[in-house]
A and B are shown apart, each in its own frame.
Chain A
């Protein structure tokens, strides 16, 4: 019975090899008792997945973030002789502080680069750290999406919902808070079907309204605008035109 359950569960989980699968399917076609057991076991799939997803939403993220050491054992380059020395130093500091929320990181790197006003540089640097695997495992259900978005929206004074941040061709994965120059920075992370991350960043920096602009930086496209005392940025490894189109869509929605 236990072996039979294990085989049925493996069938449900699509883990049987072709021969075993065919044999079991043939038995299921004729054995009513087996079929009933298959249905009983299969009915647990959605509740398990749903319940484990619910658990994710209970994680005390703020407390956990606060407990991550701000300055890990990151070794600084010993000599700043190369042309890229300042960049490397900035990056070293950046990585050392990233998990703490990136505020000091952004301040440090931007300060060194004397581009204090260019928060986009900091975000671009940060975005380059994310890979196709970073966000793809995250599949929040609608209720968890609403909770995360509402929480980060409150921090930047914007009403964010799964509906008004939805973007064509992108899947929402998570929303979290960073800060830039002591201003709250909400990050809404999407993935393309390929897994490539695309971020929508909202910085509550009391900036004057400014129309949308876009540009390429290395292999990243950026589109940004300011409205209602907040600066917005769409950034990702996507064509510039697409970044601009996504920005226009989100500007109308939020």
Chain B
């Protein structure tokens, strides 16, 4: 069982790297922190691979580990040290300026997502980026489904103003 767990975890890391990094960036709004966060999450996953239940989704297990490290170790430490995070509203952006629907650019949408409160950014990422159902997001974030709904609605309402 544990050998199988370790295999699945090792095999699941590589294809999940970009998505782990995106989650880390959306949470931290710092590219340096995102890199560290992904590295820490992968290391933790390898160390605790025995705890992974084979046959379940390793990508979501990895995302949950990353979130836990962010909440319990990195963000809390920054806050404790008084460092906080710089105003990083432009961290979420793209190099190009390709127009998408609504005649706005992906950069503008990402900038707007970057300005949302962390709870909304994270919920948007999980549901619209990672394809979580409302129930799955509620479970992952340990919040009621109604809170998932209100966060998504607030985020969409803010983005609808970009028009």
Q: A interface vs B, CB < 8 Å? A: 2, 5-10, 13, 15, 40-41, 43-61, 63-65, 67-69, 72-74, 91-92, 95-96, 98-99, 129-131, 133-135, 137-138, 143, 173-174, 176, 189
Question: Within the complex, which residue of A69, A91, A138 is in contact with B15, where a contact is CB–CB below 8 Å?
Answer: A138
Q: Is the CB of A54 within 8 A of B94?
A: yes
Beyond A50-B109, A54-B110, A137-B59: 20 further Cβ-contacts under 8 Å?
A9-B152, A41-B160, A43-B163, A44-B159, A46-B101, A47-B101, A47-B102, A50-B106, A51-B100, A55-B26, A58-B95, A60-B35, A64-B35, A65-B14, A68-B39, A69-B42, A95-B6, A98-B13, A99-B13, A134-B58
Listed by A's residue number, 17 A-B pairs whose Cβ atoms lie within 8 Å are A2-B150, A6-B153, A10-B134, A48-B128, A52-B128, A54-B110, A55-B94, A55-B129, A59-B17, A61-B17, A63-B35, A92-B3, A98-B13, A129-B7, A137-B130, A137-B131, A138-B15
Number of interface residues of B (CB under 8 A): 64
Asked if B27 lies at the interface with its beta carbon under 8 angstroms from chain A, I say no
Give 1 or 0 for each of B58-102: 1 = CB within 8 Å of chain A CB: 110000000000000000000000000000000010111010111
How far apart are B106's CB and chain A's nearest CB, in angstroms? Answer: 4
Are A52 and B101 CB-contacts (below 8 A) given A5-B157, A69-B42? no
Q: B interface vs A, CB < 8 Å? A: 3, 6-8, 10-15, 17-22, 25-26, 35, 38-39, 42-43, 46-47, 49, 55, 57-59, 92, 94-96, 98, 100-102, 104, 106, 109-110, 113, 124-125, 127-131, 133-134, 146, 149-150, 152-154, 156-157, 159-160, 162-163
Please measure, in the bound complex, the distance between the C-alpha atom of A49 and the C-alpha atom of B19, giving whole angstroms: 13
Please measure, in the bound complex, the distance between the C-alpha atom of A99 and the C-alpha atom of B100, giving whole angstroms: 36
List of A residues within 8 angstroms of B130 by Cβ: 137
How far apart are B148's CB and chain A's nearest CB, in angstroms? Answer: 9
How far apart are B30's CB and chain A's nearest CB, in angstroms? Answer: 13
Question: Within the complex, which residue of A40, A52, A68, A189 is in contact with B13, where a contact is CB–CB below 8 Å?
Answer: A68
Q: Is the CB of A98 within 8 A of B110?
A: no
List of B residues within 8 angstroms of A45 by Cβ: 128
How far apart are A201's CB and chain B's nearest CB, in angstroms? Answer: 14
Are A9 and B153 CB-contacts (below 8 A) given A52-B128, A65-B17, A135-B15? yes
Please measure, in the bound complex, the distance between the C-alpha atom of A129 and the C-alpha atom of B154, giving whole angstroms: 41
List of B residues within 8 angstroms of A8 by Cβ: 153
How far apart are A84's CB and chain B's nearest CB, in angstroms? Answer: 12
Q: Is the CB of B47 within 8 A of A64?
A: no
Q: Is the CB of B47 within 8 A of A189?
A: no
How far apart are B90's CB and chain A's nearest CB, in angstroms? Answer: 13
List of A residues within 8 angstroms of B59 by Cβ: 133, 137
List of B residues within 8 angstroms of A130 by Cβ: 11
Q: Is the CB of B10 within 8 A of A72?
A: yes
How far apart are A57's CB and chain B's nearest CB, in angstroms? Answer: 8
Please measure, in the bound complex, the distance between the C-alpha atom of A50 and the C-alpha atom of B17, giving whole angstroms: 19
Q: Is the CB of A48 within 8 A of B14?
A: no
Please measure, in the bound complex, the distance between the C-alpha atom of A53 and the C-alpha atom of B109, giving whole angstroms: 12
Please measure, in the bound complex, the distance between the C-alpha atom of A135 and the C-alpha atom of B132, giving whole angstroms: 16
Please measure, in the bound complex, the distance between the C-alpha atom of A220 and the C-alpha atom of B17, giving whole angstroms: 26
Please measure, in the bound complex, the distance between the C-alpha atom of A15 and the C-alpha atom of B8, giving whole angstroms: 31
How far apart are B37's CB and chain A's nearest CB, in angstroms? Answer: 10
